[in-house]
Every structure is written in structure tokens, then in C-alpha cells.
Amino acid sequence: MSEEILINITPREIRVAMVENGVLQEMMIERTSKRGLVSNIYKGRACRVLPGMQAAFMDIGLERAAFLHASDIVTLQSQMEFGRNKTEVSINELMHEGQTSLVQVIKDPLGSKGARLTTEISIPSRYVVILPYSPNTIGISTRIEREEERHRLKEIVLKHLGYTGQSSVEQSSDDANVKLETFSSTQSRTGKVNFGFIIRTAAEGCTEEMLCADMDFLTRLWKDIKEKEQTAKPSSLIYEDLSLVIRTIRDLMGTTIEKVRIDSRETYVEVISFAQKFIPDLIPLIEHYPGERPIFDLYNIEDEITKALDRKVQLKSGGYLVVDQTEAMTTIDVNTGAFVGSRNLEETIFKTNLEAAQAIARQLRLRNLGGIIILDFIDMTDAEHRRQVLRTLEKCLERDHTKSHISEVSSLGLVQMTRKRTRESLEHVLCKTCPTCSGRGTIKTPETICYEIFREILRESRQFEIENQQVLVIASQEVVDMVLDEESASVAQLEEFINRPIRFQVESSYGQEQYDIVLT
């Protein structure tokens, strides 16, 4: 499979496109005014502790207070006892108002919600992730499948840290792609601080020197963070994660990436400098794109972004998807549309659902949809067809870098799934709620507004003395046109009933549902 990364740089915005076989699969956008906060580390101050929610709200210097749940707080005991059930501990035992703590953002502010925090700090580099508060812990990505390679990498880390004990416990971490093991050990022979580490997928095949250099770099970085914490003021930023471009190179570059094109000479030089220091084998894959034609026009990416904001997604067969995002969940409905098939109804439905499963996997990545997602495939009577559709969906999602979980088909024929949400969806980044419909997706018709106006005039005529006064109605062009045309007879009857003239005035800035009634 051919994969490319296209990076478009403008003064106020960075856009990164992941293209597979010429088709846009993933889109990431970072704006200078709204840079993502995930992985940033702050010296937070507890401004409210809520026992009823088992949580604290932390001031980290943002517009809205951030949320820290009791289960995300590392205690002195949980540092020594890996896997302790922290939900048994009351938030009052862990945090009090005014207390400061080093916290890390694990979810950006989404909608009206503040950022989500944890005190279980983890900092990634190219090959490993450091876990400062999980001593005696080694994690290995499950995507490294060869057992001999897993053993080799684990032995390198153990040797570098001076472990002498054998593994005693194995547990799953919060990430299904990582298995964590705890070890009994003696004092490190190398004299290094005893931290935990996760070996990332990118470490497969790397040398001992490269892996140890990464571990030493993160150890020095953590020491620097702790020193800054001592002198930093509460609610201040201690450590900021890398820019979107550098994070992309660090996290998404793998053996399947064939090329990275960057349309900014300055950013290209920055990326090459980073690669020379940390990922020298990737330098041949990185190139500057000097063409006059916009870089995103190479694969019609601008058109694909526009389509990703549409509610309707057309399938090649003639079927289509309908994607609806709400506060609680996202629903995706599958329809046969113009596809009538060639054999029988069940076969037509099966083929439509198979194509839809592939399209859904792409839309989840492209739109960055997260949280609870309900998939309404067309009903299938054949159990084998249902199994194949689910398997197709699972296989397509294997290429997704974001963790997801799919359930079986429910009794109502729905597929329920979740996808980890750490940043805003593409729609929320690029769009805002319609001021006319307030996110409903529909507005009242001009006819409905006309009748509302008539009722309001009657109400005011009974409530107030309007003798020697005329009624002025200010409304949108569409409403005034309907009143003076189709509803002119109704206006005449109303004027006769209230014994007062009614005048209408167009206000071009008014939305269709907006109007005012003024007595003059």
C-alpha cells in the first residue's frame, strides 16, 4: 500500500493530509490561535473539589477549568502498587482546594467541556514512552508481533535500567495496543532513576544504541520538567508538546510511508533537522514541494475536505451514508439509494453493506469522529453476511491510529462502537453552529412565522392599550413577502379586528425566524 503525507503550511494554520493509494484517509489541522493541548503538562491548581462527582476542577491557565477524575490521580501508594483500584479512594483524600499538582492533558476541550487531565504523566519520544510514576514497569506494543523481537527489545530496556528480577505480573494497560509487565528489581546498576517505559511500534528493528539514547533523552527531559515545577507559578505551562508537523513525523512515520511532501522551505528545514537528530533513516523520504500548484491539489484534497463536511456520503454503487453528529453520539445510516443489484435483494443489501463498511472506516478517520457511534446497516437475514460485514469493518479500522471498539449487531440490527476522542472532529474545527437554526438543522417556514406574528399582535392588542397607535412588524424579506402576498387577506382581517393599521418593514440582517413588533 502506497502512503504519502502532504503538509500544507500557512502563517496561521498547519494542515496535514494522510493519503493512501491516492485517496485522502486522515486530516489534521492545527491553528495558531487554537493549538491542541493534548500531552501538554501544567502545574495545575485545584479550584473546586466535588465529592459527588469524584473529581476536581483544575485551573491550568485556560478559559475553562479542566476536569480531573479521582481515577486519573496517581497516589503515593499507587506508585508502589501497580494496578491499585483507585476508584476506592475518595477525591477528598487525594485533592483539596488550592492544592497544586503536575497534570497532563489527555483530552482537548471539546464543545462546552474543559480539558480532561491526568496526573499519570507519560511523555513519548520516537521509540519509547516514559512513565515517571510507574516504576518497575515495561510495556511493549502488541503491534510488534515477532516474539524474538519483543524479547530482544525488552532485554535492552531491562539491561539499560539495571533490572535483575524476572517478570512477576502481566496486566493490560488502558491502551489495548500495549501490554504492561511489572518487574521485581534491585537498585539500578547504572545509577539511573527507576522509571517505567513503553516500547513503541517504531522501535521494531532499531539498535540498542538508538533505544537507549531515546530513554536517556526522556529521562533528562523529565528531570528538567521537575526542576521547572519547583519554580513555576500555579496554573502555568511546564511542558508543551511538539508542533503538529513534528508530531506527525514522530508518530505516523512508518515502514509503509513512502514520501513526505512539505510546501514550506522553512518547515522543511526544521523537519530535516529533527530527523537528523532522531530519525536519520527517514531523511530520504522527506522532500520540499516547490510547485506553483497548491500541494493539496495533487490529490483533490480540498474537494475531499468539503465532502467530509457534508451530511451525505455517496457510495460508488449508488448507495449512500447519512452521517449525523450530536452532543451524545454520532449515527451513520446506510441506504441502498440508486443501487438495485443484479441478482436478489439479499445480495444487493450485502454488497451495499460491504461497501458501506469500508466507507465508514474511512469517514471515521477523515472526520475524526469519536465517542459513541451507532451504525445502522441495512438489515441482513443471513448470519454469515452479518459476520463478513463486521469483519470488513474491523479489518478496515486496523489501519486507524486511534483506538476503537466494535460490538456485535444488536437485537435492533445496529452496530454499536466507540472510538477514542482526544481532539475536536473535523466539522467542529472548520465549522460553527448555524446561528439561524442553532444546530437543529431545520428552521420554521415563513408561513409558520406569519401565524406567530399574527398571534403576537392579537396578544399585545389585548394586553396593552394601543389606541391611536399603529403596529409596525420588522421581519425578514421572506416573511414580509409572504405576508403581503399570500397572507394579505389575513392581514386585512386582523387590522379590522384590532381596529389599527399594521405596517411591515424588511430588515435584511434578520434571520427567517427573527421578528419584532413595535407600537408606534
Average pLDDT over residues 406-418: 85
Average pLDDT over residues 330-337: 92
Average pLDDT over residues 464-479: 84
Q: How far is CA 225 from CA 48, 217, 321, 412, 429, in A?
A: 25, 12, 47, 51, 31
Q: Which amino acid makes up residue 96?
A: H
Q: Would you kindly state where each structural domain of the chain is located, as residue ranges?
A: 3-36+242-302, 43-239, 309-430, 446-519
Q: Alpha carbon 337 to chain centroid distance?
A: 30
**Count of residues making up the chain:** 520
Per-residue pLDDT for 35 more than 50?
Answer: yes
Cβ pair 409, 357 in contact under 8 A: no
Cβ pair 157, 215 in contact under 8 A: yes
SS3 assignment, position 29:
strand
**CA–CA dist 457, 451 (Å, integer):** 10
Residue 255 has a pLDDT of: 58
Place of cell 497534570: 103
Q: Which long-range contacts (CB under 8 A, 24 or more apart) does 26-31 make?
A: 26/365, 26/366, 26/368, 26/401, 27/301, 27/305, 27/308, 27/366, 27/368, 27/426, 28/244, 28/248, 28/368, 29/426, 29/429, 29/430, 30/243, 30/244, 31/429
Return the number of other C-beta atoms located less than 10 Å from residue 103's C-beta: 27
**CA–CA dist 53, 333 (Å, integer):** 35
Q: What is the DSSP string of 132-161?
A: TT-TTEEEEETT---HHHHHHHHHHHHHHH
Place of cell 494554520: 13
Residue 225 has a pLDDT of: 93
Q: How far is CA 10 from CA 221, 251, 265, in A?
A: 30, 22, 12
Average pLDDT over residues 467-493: 90
Q: Which of these, 454, 503, 506, 502, lies nearest to 480 by C-alpha position?
A: 506
Per-residue pLDDT for 80 more than 50?
Answer: no
Cβ pair 293, 334 in contact under 8 A: no
Q: Which of 5-14, 261-270, 329-338 has the lowest mean pLDDT?
A: 329-338
Please tell me the pTM assigned to this model.
0.75
Residue 167 has a pLDDT of: 46
Cβ pair 329, 372 in contact under 8 A: yes
Confidence band (pLDDT; 50, 70, 90) for 277? confident
Per-residue pLDDT for 507 more than 90?
Answer: yes
Domain 446-519 grouped into CATH 3.40.1260.20: yes
Per-residue pLDDT for 79 more than 50?
Answer: no
Average pLDDT over residues 29-44: 88
* Digit-coded pLDDT (tens) for 433-461: 888 888 888 899 999 999 999 999 988 88
Q: Which of these, 228, 180, 173, lies nearest to 40 by C-alpha position?
A: 228
* Digit-coded pLDDT (tens) for 185-218: 444 444 555 789 999 988 888 889 889 988 988 9
Residue 328 has a pLDDT of: 87
Give 3-state DSSP helix, strand, coil % of the chain, rounded to 5: 35, 30, 35
Residue 50 has a pLDDT of: 93
Q: Which amino acid makes up residue 50?
A: L
**How does the average pLDDT of the chain come out, rounded?**
86
* Digit-coded pLDDT (tens) for 419-431: 988 778 999 889 9
**CA–CA dist 91, 48 (Å, integer):** 11
What's the CATH number of domain 43-239, 2.40.50.140, 1.20.1530.20, 3.40.50.920, 1.10.10.10? 2.40.50.140
* Digit-coded pLDDT (tens) for 232-251: 999 999 999 888 999 888 77
Percent of the chain scored above 90 by pLDDT?
53
The phi-psi region of residue 263 (left if phi > 0; otherwise alpha if psi is between -120 and 50; otherwise beta) is alpha
Per-residue pLDDT for 467 more than 70?
Answer: no
Residue 460 has a pLDDT of: 85
* Digit-coded pLDDT (tens) for 117-171: 999 999 998 889 999 988 878 899 888 888 999 999 999 998 888 866 554 434 4
Q: Which long-range contacts (CB under 8 A, 24 or more apart) does 221-226 make?
A: 221/123, 221/130, 222/121, 222/123, 222/130, 222/132, 222/195, 223/193, 225/41, 225/102
Confidence band (pLDDT; 50, 70, 90) for 281? confident
Q: 3-36+242-302 belongs to which CATH class?
A: alpha beta
Per-residue pLDDT for 279 more than 80?
Answer: no
* Digit-coded pLDDT (tens) for 336-385: 887 666 678 888 889 999 999 999 999 999 999 999 999 999 988 888 99
Residue 88 has a pLDDT of: 66
Cβ pair 197, 128 in contact under 8 A: yes
Q: How far is CA 338 from CA 143, 334, 342, in A?
A: 40, 12, 12
